[in-house]
Amino acid sequence: MQRPKEHKLDRKQHGAPMKGLIRDVKVKPGDQVKYSQTLFTVSAMKMEIGVKSKTAGTVKAVLFPAGTIVEAGDLVVLIDPR
């Protein structure tokens, strides 16, 4: 099954910056988020990278829970902008 990929220019879509383990998901559907708020963290090779919101709005979907291994570009969080 092919996973949906993030479209980098779409501010509503937030994907994994690299292949790794989703260490922590800080939001859930229905949460209000601010611009630049950390949404989730990906861990690989002893590095952790926090993915921040590109827009303010409401979390529409979280496609992968913490503990999932993702590929670079896999879509993880969708936000409905205000």
**Residue 64's CATH number:** 2.40.50.100
The answer to whether residue 1 is domain-embedded is: no
Question: Minimal CA–CA distance to 48: which of 16, 79, 77, 5?
Answer: 16
* Predicted local confidence at residue 2, as pLDDT: 83
Pairwise CA distance, residues 34 & 42, whole Å: 20
The 10s digit of each residue's pLDDT in 31-74 is 999 999 999 999 999 899 999 999 999 999 999 999 999 999 99
Domain that holds residue 70: 13-81
Domain count, the chain: 1
Q: Is the pLDDT of residue 11 over 80?
A: yes
8 pLDDT tier (thresholds 50, 70, 90): confident
The answer to whether residue 5 is domain-embedded is: no
* Predicted local confidence at residue 82, as pLDDT: 78
Q: Is the pLDDT of residue 1 over 80?
A: no
The answer to whether residue 3 is domain-embedded is: no
The answer to whether residue 6 is domain-embedded is: no
The answer to whether residue 2 is domain-embedded is: no
* Predicted local confidence at residue 54, as pLDDT: 96
